[in-house]
Amino acid sequence: MSSPRRPEAGAPGSGPASGTPAGHRASAGRWRCDAALRAGLAERLGRWERCELAPPGPAALRPAAVALVLLDAADGPGLPDVPRVDPGDAALLLTRRPEGLRRHAGQWALPGGRVEPGEAPLQAALRELHEEVGLRLGAEALLGRLDDYPTRSGFVITPFVFWAGPTGALQPDPQEVASLHRLPLAELMREDAPMLETTDQGPHPVLRMPVGDHWIAAPTAALLYQFREGALAGRPTRVAHFDQPAFAWR
């Protein structure tokens, strides 16, 4: 696969995709936000043999949790350069972080954050989901978990997959979310994904996922790719070895 260009001026994690013509996509069909999709995801995630990192110690990475939320793509804003979808098509919830934040300012993200003392990762994911975007789900919405992912910024992320279905409009907290978007599942299945780049920052390639004519960087991209491969396509794939671009270390 051709290496992507480095980011141009603009928000981190939103550089132009390269290696394929702009807007190039596989014919992935449609992913409906229905009972069949929910059952299939639960079945595949139920067979997932998770890779868990060691419990945190004095000098270990700090625990964090994020939510990959399945919902109706037509209930809210989509993404620039991504074709509009029909009501009832399935999407994942994606946020853009405000520019003024101390960590990961302006980057694409999944709802989530650090695990507070005395809190389980699942509780943290549900709490952050409600605080950031106003979506309250219970543990019964949980479909499964993906692998723990260590970040260059000092966290180990536990990703949870939830089913929300139709939600209507959501109300993000402007202190934590600059904008809220729905990423159609069909966009995840593009044949030009993932984008891998060898850099001089380490031995492992940096992973990005193309979205529209742009891209999203790891860590978020790594979790999206693992969800695509394991939960959608039934191809369990490890991603913890993929690196993140230098701007995501902060």
pLDDT of residue 26: 44
The model's confidence at residue 5, banded by pLDDT at 50, 70 and 90, is very low
Q: Which long-range contacts (CB under 8 A, 24 or more apart) does 135-144 make?
A: 135/69, 135/93, 135/111, 135/164, 135/167, 135/170, 137/69, 137/162, 137/164, 143/38, 143/41, 143/42, 143/45, 143/70, 143/231, 144/41, 144/42, 144/44, 144/45, 144/46, 144/48, 144/231
Extract the tokens encoding 199: 């850099």
Distances (CA, A) of 86 to 51, 90, 91, 184: 36, 9, 11, 10
Domains of the chain: 35-187 (3.90.79.10)
Residue matched to tokens 């279905």: 165
Instruction: Give me the count of residues in the chain.
Output: 250
Above 80 in pLDDT, residue 153? Answer: yes
Q: What is the pLDDT of residues 33-92, one digit of tens each?
A: 999 999 999 999 999 999 998 655 545 789 999 999 999 988 777 777 788 788 899 999
Residue 188's SS3 state is helix
Distances (CA, A) of 17 to 23, 200, 248: 9, 20, 18
Q: What is the pLDDT of residues 118-151, one digit of tens each?
A: 999 999 999 999 999 999 999 999 999 999 999 9
Cα separation, 188 vs 16, whole angstroms: 16
Q: Strand 206-211 and strand 62-72: pairing?
A: unpaired
Extract the tokens encoding 141: 């919405």
pLDDT of residue 90: 95
127's CB contacts (< 8 A; 6+ apart) are 119
The residue-averaged pLDDT of 103-111 equals: 78
- Residue burial 168-180, b: 16+ Cβ < 10 Å; e: rest: eebebeeebbbeb
pLDDT of residue 200: 72
The model's confidence at residue 6, banded by pLDDT at 50, 70 and 90, is very low
Cα separation, 12 vs 107, whole angstroms: 5
Residue matched to tokens 């700090």: 62
Segment (H or E) for 71? strand 62-72
Report how far apart the first and last C-alpha atoms of the chain are (Å, whole number). Answer: 28
Q: Strand 108-109 and strand 90-96: pairing?
A: antiparallel
Distances (CA, A) of 219 to 86, 158, 204, 240, 245: 29, 12, 14, 9, 9
Cα separation, 111 vs 172, whole angstroms: 10
Segment among 105-109, 142-146, 160-164 with least mean pLDDT: 105-109
pLDDT of residue 235: 94
The residue-averaged pLDDT of 151-156 equals: 89
Q: Which residue has the higher pLDDT, 68 or 173?
A: 68
